[in-house]
Amino acid sequence: MLDWLRAGTPPQPGVHVVLGSAIDAPVQPGQQEALFGCGCFWGAEKGFWRLPGVVTTAVGYAGGAADHPSYEQVCSGRTGHAEVVRVVWDPSTIGFSDLLKLFWECHDPTQGDRQGNDCGSQYRSTIYADDSSLIELATASAKAYQELLSAAGFPAITTEIRQGVPFFAAESYHQQYLAKPGSRPYCSAMPTKVPLGRFEGCTYKLPSQVWTHYDWSVSHCVLRGENAPIAI
């Protein structure tokens, strides 16, 4: 992990800059995957790749009508795609509930077609998965989180939860952007500061100390954390 940076050599094409795994590898037996949209995908991806048990991540586009869109096309707002992070994980180490906890807490899912200063449908909040059991768990978590947000004075969650949505990888320069030398430190996420507790069907697997590495009281907090995965 990050050996290329210490050695002063460029990362290999198609290899995760931080995790060293193939970013486009198909899901292997015993693994699971889902797509998460929570604003600009640069900062969102870093939040996910740091979690123990995550095998690989990649940023891309999903939820729209155009096949293999470019970044410029998605930014035009005419494709209907959202910026998303593909996450593949080992469920023996990390549960989907843990990923949902990060997802809900790392951004404001009530902002509709925007996140922070970034405006447009491409920045909307989304959860996409092929596995129906993951969709059910995501829906249950949304219901529980809505109750917590409402109690804190937030409006309705606008997160789009859908099954069977294709993923189109973004251009290589977007992949693990915040881990690359010379990258512009940018993250649009605006956390609500409302933690997700337990919800129907949830099974948290990560130890509580993992969450001390994320300070949601500070906007854009992923920019302040290390790039390396959190050790447990």
Residue 161 burial by Cβ neighbours in a 10 Å radius (0-12, 13-18, 19+): middle
Query: Residue 154 carries which DSSP code?
Result: -
Torsion of CA 222, 44, 156, 161, to 10 degrees: -150
Active-site residue (options: 40, 106, 202, 221): 40
Task: Provide the token pair at 10.
Answer: 């460029």
Examine the residue annotation and report whether 40 is marked as an active-site residue of this protein.
yes
Q: Which residues of 116-138 are buried (b: 16+ CB within 10 A; e: fewer)?
A: bebeebbbbbbbbbeeeebbebb
Task: Provide the token pair at 198.
Answer: 């337990």
Task: Provide the token pair at 23.
Answer: 């970013």
Beta bridge partners of 194: none
By annotation, the residues acting in catalysis are 40
